[in-house]
A and B are shown apart, each in its own frame.
Chain A
């Protein structure tokens, strides 16, 4: 029996049993559709967590000096330790960080992108080696400027998102795009605070100009060049020698555990709170979507069982017809192939319809979310991610479920005894 003849015969058989075929394919479509929907949802939410909420770079390791505890004095993160970290063969680069250790505040009174704004804010600042943020700098250089020039500052993309989705709507302030923010200058007073008594020395008045936005910038504060932070700390007569932390860049992601182990050996603390938080939330999303995916697979199994039951009944009803086909030249393999091909067609149709249905439902859910869900930080344009592998996998699962369901009936059909079924 040729493939063309097989297809022609399957087409004839499916057409005459259209009603039954529709219900079988519907069962497969239900299982495949829900599977594609939930897997896409899991992938989409996971993507938001990885790329927007916690943009954790797998190559980066954050180290910090360990805190003083009973029995130990901790390890200060000085240049000597930095040099030892740099010497590790797995480390591609080390970027030092130093908190501005004097209080800082901003008094803003003027036009804020078309709206009047009068505000006083305590400001956190951290200085970093310029290389860490180089890729995100959009305006000028990220280096310590002359005293009369504004200090280049980088703000967190996540902070801008929180401002746009929470702060700005609550205070009737304009929402800002990244490009709009770059170039914005605001006053800052180091060694000055509304709540902390002023430290030794007099306030250092300056300006900070936003020169870029970065995922690597301090979330709740401003990131400035390391040399500026050292200068401000020296002027404030506070520690300007030891670093608050360092970002290590691994040569390869699989070398990160080695670097972590080496840093711990040096008495340093690994600051992986964000990574752990991202992993925890990611795990929760994975567990939830896995449960829903299992439910979908169960629907597929039920669809396969339904196909098996229906095809068993069909094979019984078509026993004489099968005998007739055998009498005119059908082999057992031909009969088996006919039944399996019919199931494949049902699975293919069900899988394709289910996958298309899921895509339609995803589109609808995104549209409804865009229209009816309130704006919130990190709200994605789409909650779903449907790569080709998921779509093709969905169709494939439909076929597999149908073929598995048809396997036993096809064997029974092939075992039909034509002499018995054709006896008058």
Chain B
């Protein structure tokens, strides 16, 4: 489902020297897998996620997600890929503050090839019901708790029935209990066949994943089965 070969990525540093983040990284994720990528802050976890999700195009190497080779896509096709094939869940939720919960969930449908119709609304309502927020569909994000906002973000990510869910520190801004609820939701989605790739430095997420990859020095230096899964 996800395949990356010899990925290189660097940023301009403060003293004209380039900061290399990814140095020939290779990655393979099978369809339906739940994979966690762990590593210290600044190791390039989010960068890797942005590249795999088609948000970052300034890299070298080959990336294929859901049978789509990203490096060859035009901006329009890349946008369509983000709209149809992947869903993002961010640490800071990234909801549009002035849109209602329902409008936030519907946001991906605004950028589809067809106009928003009743089926989109039905799908949004289903997802909101699933994450327990149907009653709050007309509220704006500022009227929700952190956990609720993240559940809205997950509903938004799932609206277009993506094949891959890309999560960037999804529990980083949540308390323990709420974080556990979100992780439980990811596991449920994974059981339903969704491919989940989460970058995190939290052990509870890596504990929930089938496979954990460790990103160090710009490379995925080791991978091992999740102990929880083994149990």
Q: Which residues of A contact B (CB under 8 A)?
A: 1-2, 4-5, 8-9, 12, 16, 320-321, 323-334, 417-419, 422-424
CB distance from A337 to the nearest CB of B (A): 11
With A324-B96, A328-B108 already in contact, the answer to whether A419 and B113 are too (CB < 8 A) is no
Residues on the A chain within 8 Å of B79, using CB: 326, 329-332, 334
A1 to B75, alpha carbons, bound, how many Å?
A: 13
CB distance from A26 to the nearest CB of B (A): 22
**A418 to B, closest residue via Cβ:** B55
Q: A330-B110, A332-B79 are in contact. List 15 more A-B contacts (CB 8 A).
A: A1-B112, A4-B116, A5-B116, A320-B94, A321-B97, A324-B107, A325-B96, A328-B107, A329-B80, A329-B108, A418-B55, A422-B50, A422-B94, A424-B91, A424-B168
CB distance from A334 to the nearest CB of B (A): 6
Q: Is there an interface contact between B90 and A422, defined as CB atoms closer than 8 Å?
A: yes
Q: Is there an interface contact between A2 and B108, defined as CB atoms closer than 8 Å?
A: no
Residues on the A chain within 8 Å of B94, using CB: 320, 323-324, 327, 422
Q: Is there an interface contact between A1 and B111, defined as CB atoms closer than 8 Å?
A: yes
**A330 to B, closest residue via Cβ:** B111
Q: Is B15 an interface residue (CB 8 A)?
A: no
Among the listed B96, B112, B114, B172, which residue makes an inter-chain contact with A329, where contact means beta carbons less than 8 Å apart?
B112
With A326-B82, A327-B55, A332-B75 already in contact, the answer to whether A5 and B109 are too (CB < 8 A) is yes
Q: Is B92 an interface residue (CB 8 A)?
A: yes
**A338 to B, closest residue via Cβ:** B110
Residues on the B chain within 8 Å of A328, using CB: 82-83, 88, 107-108, 111, 156
> What 0/1 readout, one digit per residue, does chain B (75-102) give for beta carbons within 8 Å of chain A?
1101110111000101110111111000
Q: Is there an interface contact between B111 and A5, defined as CB atoms closer than 8 Å?
A: yes
Tally inter-chain residue pairs, CB-CB below 8 A: 94
Residues on the B chain within 8 Å of A419, using CB: 47, 50, 55-56
Residues on the B chain within 8 Å of A418, using CB: 50, 55-56
**B117 to A, closest residue via Cβ:** A4
Residues on the A chain within 8 Å of B78, using CB: 331
**B116 to A, closest residue via Cβ:** A5
Residues on the A chain within 8 Å of B90, using CB: 422, 424
- Secondary structure dominating the interface of A: helix
Q: Is there an interface contact between B76 and A333, defined as CB atoms closer than 8 Å?
A: yes
Q: Is B195 an interface residue (CB 8 A)?
A: no
Residues on the A chain within 8 Å of B179, using CB: none
8 residue pairs, one from A and one from B, having the closest CB atoms: A329-B83, A331-B79, A329-B111, A419-B56, A328-B108, A4-B115, A419-B50, A16-B98
What are 21 A-to-B residue pairs whose CB atoms are below 8 Å?
A2-B114, A8-B110, A12-B98, A16-B98, A321-B97, A324-B94, A325-B96, A325-B110, A327-B53, A328-B82, A328-B88, A328-B107, A328-B108, A329-B79, A329-B80, A331-B111, A332-B79, A334-B111, A418-B50, A422-B94, A424-B90
Q: Is there an interface contact between B107 and A325, defined as CB atoms closer than 8 Å?
A: yes
Q: Is there an interface contact between A12 and B112, defined as CB atoms closer than 8 Å?
A: no
Residues on the B chain within 8 Å of A332, using CB: 75, 79
A375 to B172, alpha carbons, bound, how many Å?
A: 82
Q: Is B103 an interface residue (CB 8 A)?
A: yes
CB distance from A9 to the nearest CB of B (A): 5
CB distance from B90 to the nearest CB of A (A): 6
A347 to B47, alpha carbons, bound, how many Å?
A: 40
**A15 to B, closest residue via Cβ:** B98
A324 to B76, alpha carbons, bound, how many Å?
A: 16
Residues on the B chain within 8 Å of A321, using CB: 96-97
Among the listed A320, A330, A424, which residue makes an inter-chain contact with B169, where contact means beta carbons less than 8 Å apart?
A424
Residues on the A chain within 8 Å of B46, using CB: 423-424
CB distance from A339 to the nearest CB of B (A): 15
